[in-house]
Amino acid sequence: MPRSEKERLNAPLRDIISESGLFGELLPFDEYHLIMAQTDVLEGIHEKPAVKLAFYRNPPFGASYAIGAGISAFLAKLDSFSYKRIVPYLKEKGYRREFIEYAQSRDKLIADVYSVPENSVVFPLEPIMILETNLIDARLLEGIVLSEINFATLAATKWHRIKNAALKCPVMEFGRRRAQNSLKASLYSYMAGIGATSNCEANAVFGIPSSGTMGHEYVQSFPSEFDAFDRWLEHNPLKPCLLIDTLNTLESGLINACRAFKAHRERLKAAGGWKKIGFRIDSGDLAYLAAVCYNRMASELGTEDISVVLSNDLDENSIESILTQLSMAGEGRVIEHLSFGLGTKGVTAWGEPALGGVCKMSEIDGSYILKISNNNAKTTIPGNLRSALITDEKGAYLTTLIYFKSENPVDIKICFHPDDDSKFLHIDKPGYGVIPKQFPLYSSDGEQSRFIGEYSGQSLNDIRSNSESVLKTLDWSYKRLTNPHRAKVSLSPAVFEVRRRMIRGNLISMPEAGSE
């Protein structure tokens, strides 16, 4: 039986994604992943234990953090993958007999997955996801992780910034026609806190509230602007929002909207739509026009219950500017009735074409693995890692601590800048808090799999609040749009020392302590 809109919003998101089949792929990786996997089989090293970490290096949009997303889609895709189903492709491409026979003998990928919760704050270098697996499955898992986490995190971060810029003003996503992937763009906008979408498919699949009124072409379909408004209110008394900038906002649209609202006042009151009346402006000096039109309409109609919807290639920066202008002009009443409709710049993550997230091997068969680069920013952190948020006695953010899984973060007394031991922080003062960031979500032995813990089965409605706890620890200076304070990310002494020894020794691999 089909789920209702409410049921879709409150069911496990990974199940909704699986049921839709819209994110599914037979081969969710690149050819070099398969070539490496085949070579692992030929070398006989494919079953060696391995650990891979998914993270990003630099926050997008000049921010100090990102919003990690795509975890539910990753879990759905991971659990649906089957080696056996890709055998025809391997044969067609001429892969070696040994690899094909191995694939025929396998079904699910082997992995224990640890991750931050979907839609939570993530800082540079800290693991968004940890994959404890074997060498051959680690190759293929990278493709699944990056295809789901990279765009999702970028999109969720963009919409999070937009929502923050809008303060208490509602925001709607209107970007389907411009999005590279409209369904994902709508999903991650709602996940980040946006109130509604114009995307009917997103409403049908995920239950995201949908919204929409008229476009310019509707107004152009009638002999006059007044005729268009008149007929609209006749047929849509519960959607009495009129687009007033088709001809001239002040000299035509505003005047005709007021005429139409007056003509339909009693009809709208009887239908319950009078308190929903409003207008949308999609061009021009938006702050100025919003103030003038609201004040004139409120005076002429004798009501302050008028919604003001602004659109036209908005993003977080233009929204912040509009609110600043209205506030400086003393137009707080307009701000109280303001909402925004965003399309192109939201759904395309305007200003940052890609996140640059990576999934790197950090441990193989009991040995630390390091990728060394001339660019320090691209030199990885070895080991099976975890991270924790460190807060001061007032609950304010101090740093993100990266440590080995084998360590207890509560016992760590000091932490270091990843590349400079002269920069350190004592984190054992009375009242300091340690909040672990990753949780177990999934486990598969190759035959049987299971989802683990509350964060693996969260609904879309539950997920929307996951970032709140960390955001509360961050001072406003970390959250501002322009030149935010950079969040500190630190290594435990043990992680710092292993990384330094490997860099100085130019070591790709080094045995873990006690395993030599």
The domain that holds 199 is classified in CATH as: 3.20.20.70
* Same structural domain, 41 and 88: yes
Chain Cα centroid distance, residue 430:
35
* Same structural domain, 170 and 138: no
Residue entry with tokens 């940890």: 130
| pLDDT value of position 48 | 98
- For the cut 60, the answer to whether the pLDDT of residue 242 exceeds it is yes
* Same structural domain, 174 and 139: no
| pLDDT value of position 375 | 75
- Residue type at 16 in one-letter notation: I
Rounded CA-CA distance 508/503 in Å is 9
CB neighbours of 102 closer than 8 A, spacing ≥ 6? 41, 46, 83, 136
| pLDDT value of position 373 | 83
Query: What pTM, to 2 d.p., does this model score?
Result: 0.96
Residue entry with tokens 């691209």: 378
Angle at CA of residue 206, ends 203 and 209, nearest 5°:
40
What CA dihedral angle connects 249, 255, 257 and 259, to 10 degrees?
-170
| pLDDT value of position 313 | 93
Query: Averaged over 120-135, what is the pLDDT?
Result: 98
Percent of the chain with pLDDT strictly greater than 90: 96
| pLDDT value of position 404 | 98
pLDDT 10s digits, 68-127: 999 999 999 999 999 999 999 999 999 999 999 999 999 999 999 999 999 999 999 999
- 264 within domain boundaries: yes
- For the cut 90, the answer to whether the pLDDT of residue 309 exceeds it is yes
* Same structural domain, 142 and 180: no
* Same structural domain, 340 and 399: no
Query: Averaged over 477-500, what is the pLDDT?
Result: 96
CA atoms in the 13 A half-sphere facing the CB of 150? 15
- Residue type at 437 in one-letter notation: K
| pLDDT value of position 467 | 96
Which two three-digit tokens encode residue 265? Answer: 């006042």
Rounded CA-CA distance 81/52 in Å is 18
Cα Rg, the chain, nearest whole Å = 27
Query: Averaged over 149-173, what is the pLDDT?
Result: 97
492-516 residues labelled b (16+ CB within 10 A) or e (exposed): bbebbebbeebbeeebeebebeeee
Query: Averaged over 206-210, what is the pLDDT?
Result: 96
Category of 125 on φ-ψ map: left (φ > 0), alpha (ψ -120 to 50) or beta: left
Angle at CA of residue 483, ends 477 and 489, nearest 5°:
65
- Of 296, 327, 347, the one marking the end of a domain is 347
| pLDDT value of position 516 | 44
- Of 347, 362, 392, the one marking the end of a domain is 347
* Same structural domain, 147 and 50: yes
* Same structural domain, 138 and 109: yes
- The total number of residues written for the chain in this structure: 516
Rounded CA-CA distance 506/497 in Å is 14
Which two three-digit tokens encode residue 508? Answer: 């790709």
* Same structural domain, 379 and 456: yes
Confidence of residue 515 (pLDDT cuts 50, 70, 90): low
| pLDDT value of position 513 | 62
Which two three-digit tokens encode residue 118? Answer: 């979907």
* Same structural domain, 253 and 340: yes
| pLDDT value of position 1 | 44
Confidence of residue 24 (pLDDT cuts 50, 70, 90): confident
Q: Average the pLDDT over each of 144-148, 210-214, 488-492 and give the range with the smallest value.
A: 210-214
Q: Are 319 and 162 in contact (CB under 8 A)?
A: yes
pLDDT 10s digits, 425-439: 999 999 999 999 999
Percent of the chain with pLDDT strictly greater than 70: 99
Q: Are 199 and 183 in contact (CB under 8 A)?
A: yes
CATH number at residue 81: 3.20.140.10
- 222 within domain boundaries: yes
Rounded CA-CA distance 407/388 in Å is 12
pLDDT 10s digits, 192-203: 999 999 999 999
Q: Are 277 and 240 in contact (CB under 8 A)?
A: yes
- 231 within domain boundaries: yes
Q: Average the pLDDT over each of 40-44, 112-116, 167-171, 371-375 and give the range with the smallest value.
A: 371-375
Backbone angles phi, psi at 515, to 5 degrees: -115, 5
- 367 within domain boundaries: yes
For the chain, what is the domain count? 2
Rounded CA-CA distance 431/433 in Å is 6
Rounded CA-CA distance 494/415 in Å is 9
Query: Averaged over 387-416, what is the pLDDT?
Result: 97
Rounded CA-CA distance 132/148 in Å is 18
- 113 within domain boundaries: yes
* Same structural domain, 389 and 413: yes
- 218 within domain boundaries: yes
- 516 within domain boundaries: no
Residue-range definition of the domain harbouring residue 282: 159-347
Rounded CA-CA distance 252/218 in Å is 16
* Same structural domain, 104 and 202: no
Q: Are 18 and 449 in contact (CB under 8 A)?
A: no
- For the cut 60, the answer to whether the pLDDT of residue 281 exceeds it is yes
* Same structural domain, 475 and 369: yes
Task: List the end-to-end C-alpha distance of the chain, in Å, as a whole number.
Answer: 58
Q: Are 369 and 363 in contact (CB under 8 A)?
A: yes
Rounded CA-CA distance 298/258 in Å is 9
Count Cβ atoms below 10 Å from residue 440 Cβ, excluding itself: 16
Q: Which helix (H) or strand (E) holds 137?
A: helix 135-165
- For the cut 70, the answer to whether the pLDDT of residue 514 exceeds it is no
Average pLDDT, the chain: 96
Strands 338-342 and 307-310: parallel
Q: Are 56 and 126 in contact (CB under 8 A)?
A: no
- 245 within domain boundaries: yes
- Of 347, 366, 388, the one marking the end of a domain is 347
